[in-house]
Amino acid sequence: MQKRDPQRQSVVDVRNLTKAYHARSLRGRTVVEALRGVSLHADRGEVFGLLGPNGAGKTTLIKILLGVVRSTTGSASLFGQPAGSSAARMRVGYLPESLRVDRHHSARTALRYYGRMSRMSRADILRRSDELLELVGLRDRDRESVRQFSKGMYQRLGLAQALMHDPDLLVLDEPTDGLDPVGRNEVRMVIDRLRESGKTIFLNSHILQEVELICSRVAIMAKGKICAVGRIDELTQSDRIEEVQFQVALPMVSIDILRAKLGELFPAAVVAEPSQPENGGGEIIAIEFHLPLSSQSEVDSAVDRIRSAGLSLRRLVVRRQTLEETFMKAVRLGESSNAETPSHAAQEVLP
């Protein structure tokens, strides 16, 4: 069980949050339990990622944090203030999934507009716009119509608008969705700079690769519950090995001899490929096989056995669990068991 560092400043603190939507349909009144006892926290300077399949409850959780939707039970606070209170709202910036900026705006006039909405003074709007246009790399394009912007530029402008009132927490809904690799990289770089400057970022994304690159911690949600939460290396148990593939070779033997030798050494070996004679003349016979190993020490001892049997190790591929595999496992488990028991990394201690 993980202990939280008491020195860390909690920014987002969610405890036993539930949300039931009451909806009317042709079948009468229905209740949708969008959140069913969600607890999580994000600390200052963290980039926290929320992952989950459609309908998991991510947007509902974000809406509660922003004070747009009220929870049914439980608590959500930002900087120790109830989510939705004006004290909490003042410290949050939000980039929605599809920000709409009127096409007649330039980056500069759009920021002026958002600054006025935040009741900033003219001088502050000017100063802040300069800083932010620099930060998001739009300083040279600040007077062009946003009509000419690429999606990546548009999204960077979105980040700048969310930062106008200098919030300490940024909530980003699918910040890199629909961007090409260059656009994603640009947005990622801005997020990195913000993290370095001490901002906390809470983002919702379904692009696992992206989350892996950006986030320091993630929570995986399914059916309104958290099924796993922790650092990516904890969740993927980065020391945990999924599959090990070997290629070994022996000179001047037949494939049958090599197979027999392998069978003696590793009865559990699954031979993947028939032998490929090398050197044209078939003097070296190589064979590929998989072993069901799950730890580095098992790999080490398999390598020792291969060497002491006089075999030459040609290739060794150790495949570890990816975030996608972790995600799929966590979601499947969460959906089948209603996520009553979160994975071990989920059992973080709340103070």
Ligand X SMILES: Nc1ncnc2c1ncn2[C@@H]1O[C@H](COP(=O)(O)OP(=O)(O)OP(=O)(O)O)[C@@H](O)[C@H]1O
Q: How far is the CB of 154 from ligand X (least distance, A)?
A: 20
**Of the listed pieces 41-49, 53-61, 107-115, 240-248, which binds ligand X according to CB under 6 A?**
53-61
Q: What whole-number distance in Å separates Cα of residue 243 and Cα of residue 33?
A: 39
Residue 23 interacts with ligand X (CB under 6 A)?
yes
The span of 8-16, 49-57, 85-93, 163-171 binding ligand X (CB under 6 A) equals 49-57
Shortest Å distance, C-beta 54 to ligand X: 3
CB nearer ligand X, residue 58 or residue 184:
58
Residue 76 makes CB contacts below 8 A (sequence gap 6+) with 12, 13, 14, 15, 17, 64, 65, 82, 83
Q: Please say which residue, 70 or 319, places its beta carbon nearer to ligand X.
A: 70
Segment lying near ligand X (by CB under 6 A), choices 38-46, 54-62, 110-118, 191-199: 54-62
- Residue number, 25 or 308, with CB nearest to ligand X: 25
Could you tell me if 106 and 95 are in contact, meaning their C-beta atoms sit under 8 angstroms apart? no
- Phi/psi for 29 (5° steps) reads -80, 135
**Which lies closer to ligand X via its Cβ, residue 60 or residue 77?**
60
Q: Cα separation of 350 and 127, whole Å?
A: 39
Residue 31 dihedral angles phi and psi, to the nearest 5°: -115, 125
What backbone phi and psi angles, to 5 degrees, belong to 94? -130, 130
Q: How far apart are CA 261 and CA 241, in angstroms?
A: 25
Cβ atoms of 302 and 245 closer than 8 Å: no
55-74 residues near ligand X, rule: CB under 6 A: 55-60
User: Given the complex with ligand X, which of 106 and 155 has the nearer CB atom?
Assistant: 155
**60 vs 129 by CB, closer to ligand X:** 60
Q: Does 52 bind ligand X (CB under 6 A)?
A: yes
Output 70 or 240, the one with its CB closest to ligand X: 70
Q: How many residues bind ligand X (CB under 6 A)?
A: 12
**DSSP for 37-92, written as a single string:** EEEEEEETT-EEEEE--TTSSHHHHHHHHHTSS--SEEEEEETTEETTSHHHHTTE
Beta carbon of residue 35, minimum distance to ligand X (angstroms, whole number): 8
Residue from 4, 9, 32, 121 that binds ligand X (CB under 6 A)?
A: 32
User: Which DSSP category does 103 fall into?
Assistant: T
Q: Stretches 5-13, 52-60, 183-191, 313-321: which one binds ligand X (CB under 6 A)?
A: 52-60
Q: Report the nearest approach of ligand X to the CB of residue 345 (Å).
A: 20
For ligand X, the binding residue among 4, 9, 21, 185 (CB under 6 A) is 21
CB atoms within 10 A of CB 208: 20
In this structure, what is the dihedral angle of CA atoms 60, 66, 72, 77, given to the nearest 10 degrees?
Answer: 120
Which residue ranges make up the site for ligand X (CB under 6 A)? 21, 23, 32, 34, 52, 54-60
